[in-house]
Homo-oligomer: A and B are copies of this chain.
Amino acid sequence: MSAEIICVGTELLLGDILNGNAQYLAQQLAQLGIPHYHQTVVGDNPERIKQVIEIAISRAKILIFTGGLGPTPDDLTCETIADFFGVPLVESPEIIEDISQKFAQRGRVMTPSNRKQALIPQGADILPNPTGTAPGIIWQPRPDVTIFTFPGVPSEMHRMWEETAVPFLKSQGWGQEIIYSCSLKFWGIGESALAEKVTAYLNLPNPTVAPYAGKGEVRLRVSAKAPSEAAAEALILPVEKQIKDIAGLDFYGVNNDTLASVVGGLLRASGETLSVAESCTGGLLGQMLTEISGSSDYFWGGVISYDNSVKVGLLGVKAEDLDQWGAVSDTVAEQMALGVKTRLSTTWGLSITGIAGPNGGTETKPVGLVYIGLAGPNDEVKSFKYQFGTMRDRSFIRLLSASTALDLLRRRLLTR
């Protein structure tokens, strides 16, 4: 008894819009524990919509449509579904009343084309749309098929789903078993290396563990099927703990944690403060830190020392060292970190200087070469050299640089 999501709209086929509706419905189905194996996108074309229905009812019992319920002639979803099952459309006085009222409220007059939106297949129930004019339907044209239709406008669809579809599905016995997931996040280890370390967990039946690679980071999603969130958590917890033990410092957080939020939490706990000096990242590190509301508790600011004159003038980097070693060097990274820490009177100072590309690389200092400096209590200072590769693009090298700087500080704070 599985569901299929069918999104109708030529704008999806032209790539004009991102299919956020499919993601939303997928999350909702997972939460209710309704299995869902296929999503289909098809244009506003009756013949092709019918073929899609034919395929969908051969592999799913619940068909969830979004899109194509509007008042314009290219909106054909509802009439095509009725036609497929050989059922006539009837005008619903209830919908006519509702639409007229909404138009009156906005001081407008209902147009004839809106009348079309009041046509539903005979025997279908109305799925009311509190905010828009296009209602949906809940309909069982055959005992083994349940159809939902929703408008494509996300805000309308979400509210209709939550207020009407979810209670209906629960009344049908769904939502007894839910799928609950937790993402474990890692930095400093590749997807395949991590997968090999935790290989024993990748074939568990419940909870399941699956690896995903993001931009520089790796995640393991641990998903449990259980009668309640608490029961799912109880299944997940021991596995989560064991994986954390195996991964050690490469594990940095769960779910919505970011490297910046984790570092922020550690600094807040120890009552320490941080400042940054950024060259090739140009503000990205500060931006990541201040994305977190409340970061002013521990982040005091920094210097974007893009030009060498700023490195000298605001950070106290020695001009002769810039001449001798170049801006992209361990010496300058250390002076930047120490300079910003001293001038802003913070516990820690983090610096980044590197070549983000695509231009500016040389044979001895290629694109992707990045030095990160970390200055701390008692003016301890250390620099770290990275080669993020000549094939990565500018924004990726910058992201890796800023994230790695945060990760260095995280490891330092955890191992003292």
Chain A residues packing against B (C-beta within 8 Å): 10-20, 22-30, 36-43, 45, 48, 51-52, 55, 59, 70-74, 102, 105-108, 111-114, 130-131, 153, 155, 179, 181, 190-193, 195-196, 202-203, 210-213, 215, 221, 223, 275-276, 278, 280-291, 293-296, 299-307, 309-310, 313-314, 343-345, 356-359, 387, 389, 391-396, 398
Q: A13-B39, A293-B359 are in contact. List 10 more A-B contacts (CB 8 A).
A: A13-B26, A70-B211, A73-B195, A131-B396, A283-B288, A284-B287, A290-B306, A309-B344, A313-B344, A314-B314
Pair B23/A19 contact, Cβ less than 8 Å: yes
Of the candidates B223, B304, B396, the one whose C-beta lies within 8 Å of that of A286 is B304
Given A113-B195, A303-B304, A107 and B387 touching (CB < 8 A)? yes
In Å, the complex CA distance between A283 and B309 comes to 19
Pair B38/A41 contact, Cβ less than 8 Å: yes
Residues of B within 8 A of A202 (CB): 72-74
In Å, the complex CA distance between A20 and B195 comes to 25
Give the top 7 A-B pairs by smallest Cβ distance, nearest first. Answer: A282-B290, A283-B286, A15-B26, A15-B27, A283-B283, A39-B41, A300-B307
Residue in chain B with minimal CB distance to A35 = B13
In Å, the complex CA distance between A393 and B154 comes to 13
Residues of B within 8 A of A16 (CB): 181, 210, 212, 221
Residue in chain B with minimal CB distance to A114 = B192
In Å, the complex CA distance between A40 and B55 comes to 12
Pair A387/B192 contact, Cβ less than 8 Å: no
Pair A105/B19 contact, Cβ less than 8 Å: no
Dominant SS among interface residues on chain A:
mixed
Given A38-B48, A111-B192, A192-B71, A396 and B105 touching (CB < 8 A)? no
Given A106-B387, A296-B306, A37 and B27 touching (CB < 8 A)? no
Pair B296/A314 contact, Cβ less than 8 Å: no
Given A40-B38, A192-B114, A310-B344, A212 and B300 touching (CB < 8 A)? no
Residues of B within 8 A of A112 (CB): 196
Would you give 23 A-B contacts (Cβ < 8 Å), ordered by A? Answer: A12-B22, A12-B39, A14-B179, A19-B23, A22-B41, A38-B41, A38-B52, A70-B211, A71-B191, A72-B211, A113-B195, A130-B391, A276-B283, A278-B283, A282-B283, A282-B299, A283-B285, A293-B358, A294-B359, A295-B306, A296-B306, A301-B310, A307-B344
